[in-house]
């Protein structure tokens, strides 16, 4: 069975490159262990020309974005928060929704003093994506 992981994390206030870099790396590493990634940045090439992505002014429709993200979270086996060091309204909402519908939450964070809610609800917190992908691979192999 191929597993799917939704790639959560801050987008607003970042450049397109910054918003996609960690997701690209995560997709590549997850693919190596047979896990598909659902990337909320797919199909948003129109944001490449922005110096900074600002949810209040860019041309993507919020209703369309959130509707697709919610569908992706429902379709995923788990949610991986790539930016657990950076508070974000969208990331918090994605994590809350995932937890409400029973999806495991994994968090990348280098903070030793952890954010209460996000870190408390995470199955696991690791500082590096490579460590997390190894853990997720073992986690899901142990379930099969």
Residue 71 counted as domain residue: yes
Tell me: the pLDDT tens digits for 10-69? 888 888 888 889 999 999 999 999 999 999 888 777 777 777 877 666 556 777 878 899
Task: Indicate which CATH number applies to the domain containing 131.
Answer: 3.40.50.450
CA distance 87 to 101: 22
Contact 129, 22 (CB under 8 A): yes
Residue 56 counted as domain residue: no
Residue 15 counted as domain residue: no
Residue 111 counted as domain residue: yes
Residue 19 counted as domain residue: no
Pick from 58, 66, 61: which is nearest to 15 by CA?
58
Tell me: the pLDDT tens digits for 60-110? 677 787 889 999 999 999 999 998 787 788 899 999 999 999 999 999 998
Residue 14 counted as domain residue: no
Pick from 10, 4, 3: which is nearest to 108 by CA?
10
Pick from 39, 32, 33: which is nearest to 5 by CA?
39
What does pTM read for this prediction? 0.89
CA distance 72 to 70: 5
Residue 106 counted as domain residue: yes
Count of structural domains, the chain: 1
Residue 66 counted as domain residue: yes
pLDDT band at residue 111 under the 50/70/90 scheme:
confident
**3-state secondary structure (DSSP) of residue 56:** coil
User: 124 is in which domain, residue-wise?
Assistant: 3-9+26-43+61-143
Contact 36, 95 (CB under 8 A): no
Q: Is the dihedral of CA 43, 48, 49, 54 positive or negative?
A: positive
């Amino acid at each position: 069975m191929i597993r799917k992981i939704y790639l959560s994390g801050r987008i607003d206030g970042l450049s397109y490159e910054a918003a996609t870099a960690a997701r690209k790396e995560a997709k590549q590493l997850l693919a190596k262990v047979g896990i598909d990634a659902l990337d909320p940045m797919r199909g948003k090439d129109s944001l490449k020309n922005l110096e900074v992505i600002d949810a209040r002014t860019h041309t993507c429709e919020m209703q369309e974005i959130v509707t697709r993200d919610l569908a992706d979270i429902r379709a995923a086996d788990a949610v991986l928060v790539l930016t657990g060091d950076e508070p974000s309204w969208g990331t918090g909402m994605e994590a809350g929704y995932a937890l409400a519908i029973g999806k495991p939450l994994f968090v990348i964070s280098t903070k030793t003093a952890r954010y209460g809610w996000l870190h408390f609800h995470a199955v696991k917190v690791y500082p590096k994506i490579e460590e997390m992908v190894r853990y997720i691979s073992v986690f899901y192999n142990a379930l099969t």
